[in-house]
Amino acid sequence: MIPTIVLSTPTLSWIPFLQPAGSLGNLWWLLMIPLILGISIAYRATHDASIEQFWQRVFLFVMKSTLAMGSLALVMYLFVYWIIPNLQTT
Amino acid sequence: MTNDTNQLDEPLHWGAAFFGWICPGLGQIMLGHRQRGFLAMTGVLGLFLCGIFIGGVDCVDRREDPLWFYAQAGSGPVAFAADWANSALLKTGKVGELIESPPSNPRAPAPLVSSFKTVTVASEIGTLYCFIAGLMNVVVLLDALKRRPIDKGNGGDAR
């Protein structure tokens, strides 16, 4: 599927920070990754006793969190689209 | 365990926490943890600016979305600046134009809203980004409140 970027207002030019950047269509959930990155930078900067290997730890945190969220999404998808329809038919 | 006990004995750095609210990460910088402070600043301001970039300044609104704003205000004056930009530029029609929106009460006059106001997923995600930025800055300034200052000669940003 090709992502389409659609401006939310019919203007000829886009004013950054005043107008919304537009949506990513069905790929809006990818914005979860920069969100996790920001959280992880702020969290690791305050939580860790040492800031050696900071970016490696941030990368691991982002990977683990993304995988965890992805797994939850997969479980929910299976539950809603597979388990519940089967329950109704039996 | 010894470190934990020592940390509990540390006095609270209210000044560092206050300046950490004024500018995220400034509290850690004042206590000598420069690198840590700049990293926290990158995380919090990065989240906030990404939120404004994705959703526009309309996603910070003190009057229409007060509950979201209470958490967004944790980011400091930058949240109030975004709210001011929303009120002074968008809601007055100085940027964009004011258009009539369907009234909630059919007998009431149609309210005017900015043509830049959105109800799309971009606006929701922008609001969420700014909300998380505010909450993360509360974490950062609570850290500044209890963090042990670094001696001048120590230079130990690694702590």
Q: Which of A9, A31, A46, A62 to probe the B interface (max B CBs under 10 A)? A: A46
CB contacts of B17 in chain A (<8 Å) are: none
Q: A20–B123: do the CB atoms touch at under 8 Å?
A: yes
- Say yes or no for a CB contact (<8 Å) between A19 and B125: no
The partner residue sitting opposite B132, judged by closest CB among A11, A39, A49, is: A39
Is the pLDDT score of B48 beyond 80?
A: yes
Buried b (16+ CB within 10 A) or exposed e, B130-150: bbbbbbbbbbbbebbbebbeb
pLDDT of B64-115, one tens digit each? 899 999 999 999 999 999 999 999 988 888 887 777 777 777 777 777 777 7
Which of B87, B79, B84 lies closest to B117 in space, CA to CA? B87
Interface-testing mutation among A4, A6, A8, A30, with chain B (most B C-beta atoms within 10 A): A8
B27-37 residue pLDDT tens: 999 999 999 99
Give me the mean pLDDT over the B117-133 stretch: 89
pTM of the model: 0.83
Cβ contact A9–B43 (<8 Å)? no
Q: Minimal Cα–Cα distance from B113 to chain A, Å?
A: 13
Residue A45 lies in a domain: no
Give the model confidence (pLDDT) of A25-68 as tens digits.
788 888 999 999 999 999 999 998 888 899 999 999 999 999 99
CA distance B116 to A17: 11
pLDDT at B4 > cutoff 50: yes
Instruction: Point out the residue among B53, B90, B128 whose CB comes nearest to the CB of A16.
Output: B53
Chain A residues whose CB is inside 8 A of the B44 CB are 38, 42
Query: With bands split at pLDDT 50, 70 and 90, how would you rate the model's confidence at A12?
Result: low
Establish if A35 belongs to a structural domain.
no
Of B37, B95, B137, the CB nearest to A18: B95
A59 lies in some domain: yes
- Residue numbers of the domain that contains A64: 54-90
Do B54 and A40 lie within an 8 Å CB cutoff?
Answer: no
Closest to B125 in 3D by CA, of A46, A42, A16, A35: A35
Q: What is the ipTM of this complex?
A: 0.83
pLDDT at A4: 45
Enter the tokens of residue B148: 């042990």
DSSP output for B36-66: HHHHHHHHHHHHHHHHHHHH-GGG--TTT-H
Residue A30 within any structural domain of the chain: no
Amino acid letter for position B75: S
* Count of domains observed in chain A: 1
Is there a domain that residue A5 lies in? no
Residue A5 confidence (pLDDT): 47
Q: Cα–Cα distance between B155 and B146 in angstroms, integer?
A: 19
Chain centroid offset of residue B106 CA: 37
Burial A37-63 (b: 16+ CB within 10 A, else e): bbbbbbbbbbeeeebeebeebbeebbe
Among chain B residues, CA nearest to A23? B122
The answer to whether residue A84 sits within a structural domain is yes
Per-residue pLDDT band for B19 (boundaries 50, 70, 90) equals very high
